[in-house]
Structure formats: structure tokens, C-alpha cells
Amino acid sequence: MALIVQKYGGTSVADTERIQTVAERVVSIAKEGNQVIVVVSAMAGETDKFIAFAHKITEHPDEREMDLLLSSGERVTSALMAMAIQELGQKSMSFTGRQVGIITDSSHTKAMIEEIEASRLKIALDEGKVPVVAGFQGINEFQDVTTLGRGGSDTTAVAIAAALKADACEIYTDVEGVFTADPRIVPHARKMEKISYDEMLEMASLGAKVLHGRSVEFAKKYNVPLVVRSSFSQASGTLVTKEEGSMEKIVVTGVTHDKNQARITIMGVPDRPGIAASIFKSVSDANINVDMIVQNISNVDHATDISFTVSRADSKKAFDIIRKVSDEMGTKGVNMNPEVAKVSIVGVGMQSHFGVAAQMFETLARNSVNIMMISTSEIKISCVIDEKETEKAVQVLHDSFELAKQ
């Protein structure tokens, strides 16, 4: 008998018919003699609807109120899912974040889990029930509702799997697993059988939307075996697990891309200590996340160019801030390209293989894709390119590294 935590995302529970389909899957796994805990997201579109309501009322919604608002969608799904499972003759019971005992800090809208006191869950399992947990939420020390940020239901599932030492944590979504590239761009992209936590983390942060980075970090920390699979098929999915010897043979695991990018360049920045710090402080003070930062060594006139990327939604705001800062510093000017994309290759094998970066750059160059910025880590290389070249870049890189082969 295994203990399995299954998390179903918004598209998997988008309407009552899909909830019933999920219930059938859950019950069949329970009937095989397993203990199952189900974690659910809000029905697709609900969370966005709530956010739109809040923004009609105020530009800056209070975060405590935002959390009460946003947590409602998952509660609705958990009640409906428990009913659907019961309807199939299987005992079941819904749990809110509070009833599970998910205690978080008080950082409303992006709370961190501090503790899971899962005694009611254990009692329900002992009674032969399938607990259905409302994902994405907990409570803080004041008994106020908190939410865990986007992708928070994944984190709920992994945290419960860690707390109860579950045999597996399955993340159900609308794709069949993690692919070597986006199958809409590379039709012969291959579904991976296995991927390491670190590779998955890079892929998640680089734009592969299948799993949220925070839940992967959590899974890595507590060594929870994660399986990404589709709720619309019986395909086996992708196992995200700790790095194994066999993985190292593969140099590059996958190609990812992210079109939600804009590049800002400040030209002729005076070469003084602390100057980069003051630039980026002004941006972060406006709650804008900077992604890649590239600065070259100073040229002869003791000035340098600094480029960075931000999400496209933040680009106008960031550009205005940077123009102001830049005037005060006496730079040679600021320019922005709001239509760039980031293309990356990821793989743990890269660390011990020479020539991977060269092969990437050469492949792009041979196909006339101009590279604007480069950033590397131990297991990934990212290039910023013109957005229009994204599909071509992903396709030629996927071919060049022969990712369609097992």
C-alpha cells in the first residue's frame, strides 16, 4: 500500500465534468489499495476573475484581504471534488489549509510554510477517507488566511507529501510531462522519463510553465519524488528526482524559451563603485524583478554599458525609472527593446562538458539568429534574442543537441 499525494491544476478541474473525471481516476487508485490525498487548485479562470474584481476596486488591494479573496476558489473545488469522490462510493472529506494545519508566516500573497500539523489528515486516512485539500493556502499565527503565491497548490502538495513521507507526489496538469522543448514549437520534442531537481528548477525559471520553481525547491529539500503527468491521459509522465549517475551522460536535457521579456540598456555608465547597486535598487524599490544582468568591463573612457531584462509587463515602468536615474548619473542614454525573448539550454551534464556554449552560439549564428545578451550558470546557458527568432532558435537548438533521441 502506497501513500500518494495527487495535485490537480485549474484546467484539470475547470468544470464539474472534469472534476468527475478526476474523481474516477482518484477512486480507481484508491481501490487498488493505495492511500490517496488530493490537492486541488481553483477552477480555471476563477483566480483571475477575483484579481480583476479587486483591481476594479483599488489599484493597491490590501494583501490580507487579497488572500481571503484568492483562497476562496480552492475551497469551492475541494468541496465539489469531495462530493464527486463520495458519489462514486468512496469515503472522502474536504480540508481547508487551516484544517490541514498548514501554518505559514504572515507574508500575505506569498507566504512561506513554517509547519504542517497534519493530524486531522492522518485520522481521515486511517478512517479510509480520501482527503481533498484546498491548495495554495494556509493560516498565520493570527488565524488569518494566507496564500502561497502563484503555483502555490504545487507547493501545498509537495509540503504535504514531505510532512507525511508520501511515496510519491503526482502533479496533474494539461500536458503529459516535461518535454525537451515546447511541443507546439518542436513537434518532435521528446517527453523526458526523468529529470533532476536542479534541471527542473532551471527549466521552471526559464519559462517551462509545467511546474512552479518553489515546489521543486521544496521537493529537492525534502527529497520528495515528483511526477508530472496529464489528467487527460494515462501516460506515465516525467519523474523529477535527485540527480543520478545515468543522468550525466546526457549533456543537454532540454531547450526552453520565454517570450515575456524586455531588454533595457544604459549606455556610458560612469565606472564608480556602487553605481550598479543604485541602479538596481531604484528598480527593486518599485517591486520590479530584474532577470538577467550583463555588464562588460569598462572601456577606455572609464564608462560601461549595463543591460538587463525585465518582464514585458514591467518594462514601461522600469524604463521610466531607469531614464530618471540615468539622467542623474550623467550616462550617455538609455534604450529599450520590448520585444526580445530568452532561449536557454539546460542540463546537468554541461558542467563536465566543454564546447556546449560554443555549440549553442555557433548553431544560432549559422541560422542567422543574433545574440544580444548571454548569461550562464553551471547547468544552463541563456541567450537573449529578437522575439521573432524564438521558434527558429528553439528548433535548431533542439536538433543540434539531438534532444529527440532518447
Shorter beta-carbon distance to a copy of itself: residue 85 or 341: 85
Instruction: Pick one of 3, 20, 44, 280: the residue that binds a copy of itself (CB under 8 A).
Output: 20
Q: Candidates 86-94, 174-182, 296-304, 360-368 — which segment interacts with a copy of itself by CB under 8 A? A: 86-94
Q: How far apart are CA 289 and CA 278, in angstroms?
A: 15
175: contact with a copy of itself by CB under 8 A: no
Grid coordinates belonging to 154: 504545487
**How far does the chain reach from its first CA to its final CA, in angstroms?**
32
User: Which residue shows C-alpha cell 529529470?
Assistant: 195
Q: Interface residues for a copy of itself in 256-295 (CB under 8 A)? A: none
Instruction: Pick one of 19, 186, 203, 341: the residue that binds a copy of itself (CB under 8 A).
Output: 19
86: contact with a copy of itself by CB under 8 A: yes
362: contact with a copy of itself by CB under 8 A: no
24: contact with a copy of itself by CB under 8 A: no
Contacts of 61 (CB under 8 A, 6+ apart): 54, 55, 69
Shorter beta-carbon distance to a copy of itself: residue 36 or 216: 36
* x/- letters, 112..151, toward a copy of itself (CB under 8 A): -------------------------------xxx------
Q: Give the nearest distance from C-beta 152 to a copy of itself in angstroms.
A: 17
82: contact with a copy of itself by CB under 8 A: yes
Instruction: Pick one of 24, 32, 48, 87: the residue that binds a copy of itself (CB under 8 A).
Output: 87
240: contact with a copy of itself by CB under 8 A: no
Q: Candidates 61-69, 189-197, 268-276, 387-395 — which segment interacts with a copy of itself by CB under 8 A? A: 61-69
Q: Candidates 14-22, 107-115, 266-274, 363-371 — which segment interacts with a copy of itself by CB under 8 A? A: 14-22
Q: Give the nearest distance from C-beta 69 to a copy of itself in angstroms.
A: 4
Q: Give the nearest distance from C-beta 110 to a copy of itself in angstroms.
A: 17
- 127-131-133 Cα angle (round to 5): 155
Instruction: Pick one of 26, 84, 211, 306: the residue that binds a copy of itself (CB under 8 A).
Output: 84
Shorter beta-carbon distance to a copy of itself: residue 77 or 256: 77
Grid coordinates belonging to 115: 509547519
Shorter beta-carbon distance to a copy of itself: residue 85 or 239: 85
Q: Give the nearest distance from C-beta 14 to a copy of itself in angstroms.
A: 12
103: contact with a copy of itself by CB under 8 A: no
Residues making contact with a copy of itself (CB under 8 A)? 16-17, 19-20, 50, 53-54, 56-58, 61-62, 64-66, 68-69, 71-73, 75-76, 78-80, 82-84, 86-87, 93-94, 96, 98-99, 143-145
